[in-house]
Structure 1
Amino acid sequence: MPSPKPALSPAQLDAFLRDGFVRVDNAFPRALADEARAILWADTGCDPDDPATWTRPVIRLNQYGHPPFRAAANTPVLHESFDQLVGPGRWQPRFVLGTFPVRFPSAEDPGDAGWHVDVSFGYEHPDFFEWRANVSSRGRALLMLFLFSDVGEDDAPTRIRVGSHVDIARQLAPAGEAGLTLRELAADGFARSAHRPEALATGPAGTVYLCHPFLVHAAQPHRGTRPRFMAQPPLLPAEPLKLEREDGAYSPVELAIRRALGLA
């Protein structure tokens, strides 16, 4: 019998290496998105049918482990995708989805729309600008964007600098395992990746973007008509990423870093 079709095609894996992200359509059912969104709406304190109650550009909700969220994060297609990108046995299942920045249509500046990468260790420091990332991506295997509502171009989709994971890998490499703080990474305003083309994380509810942990991305104001619901949890590693493996069994996340540094 022929082997089952993999979750991610060879072309998608190549795109991940080149661009730093891959879009997974129908990663979880729309019905789960609808259930989860009802929970989130209740916690915003806003009325989904009354835009007069949508008084802030963004409301941040945190740490949802209710059944629809757990189910959305653990579908077979996502688990297989994690195996393909990070390696079987090298990642930890998600049972709680992290921060939900719920974005509302607003002319007001949300105040959080700058370019950045998500740092992954040093969280014990009280100043988040002192949190760190390093070239082997300690503490983070993937950045993930879970769309729990339909997101069009006007609905504050996350902006992505295509291929920017290469620039960050090269910036981090000289700092070794100690890595750099967010303050150091952002010292030039992420100018090293400013030449990169931009993509938007759009799609229907149930879409998930699986991103290299070094991908430069940014929020933006909401110019549409319906609030956007998205989770942005990390996929945590079950073991450290390695840039030198005796058996050469590099995951695409590791291989992308090695290629950026001229090691592959």
Structure 2
Amino acid sequence: MKHLLLLMVTVGSVLMNTAQVNADESPVNKATDGQTQVNLSADTVRQRLLLQTLAYRSSAEFSLYSLQHGDRKSAQRLDTVLAEGQTLANALKPNWPELAPAWQEMTQFVNDNRALAAKAEDVNFSIRLEENYNKLYAVLDGSIPDTTVLDNETRRILNMLDSLEHIVSAYLFFNINIFGGLSVTDTGIEQQNKLFKALTAELDDAELRTQVERKWGFLESTLLAYNERSAVFIVTRTCDSIRELLLKKLQPEDSAES
């Protein structure tokens, strides 16, 4: 039975191909149906791809919620991501009406299983987590827009965010499986690590590149040792910092200055 992590890698390949080093050649530049979607603004496409990253992030936050036994801080983090995702999905209804109900269904699953996740005692929890997130990923997988309307640097950063969220999600999911007794044969962390580093090296913004490379250099060995030791706090805190840098760069200039 394929685990959630394997599906994350598969779905994520829609946004980026780990065999390709050049970010500008990523499959993110093509619509999944092979047809160009017209009349989509750059902001709409950016929001749609951000929703993709929020899906993986919500999975990571639910895993963290379980690892932290449902404490207040992890609950707040989870609630924030769920709300952000629903707001984005609602805003995208004119072009993708299927996204809002799919996100709502996933949110309902999360809310219905909070108590169970917090106990971290049910070995079948991660299986149900996988099954329900697979439904959301399937919907998202079928609606990736053409992104030629975006500039190269924006595509690069969106790909970096997607890769980052894949890694965090995979890392935290691996940790809940350690305690649940399930085996995860391939997390995809190694592949995503290579991709993230390649994308970072191609950034036009030298200051951002230096900041991300410094933080990633501190984190990389810890991530790659996921099957040897657990360092959830270090991973989440450092990735939070990197995410903040990338999201700030994606803000429209008028928003960034206000």
When the two structures are superposed, what TM-score results if normalisation uses the length of structure 1? 0.27
* Greater fraction of residues in strand: 1
- State the structure with more CA Rg: 1
When the two structures are superposed, what TM-score results if normalisation uses the length of structure 2? 0.27
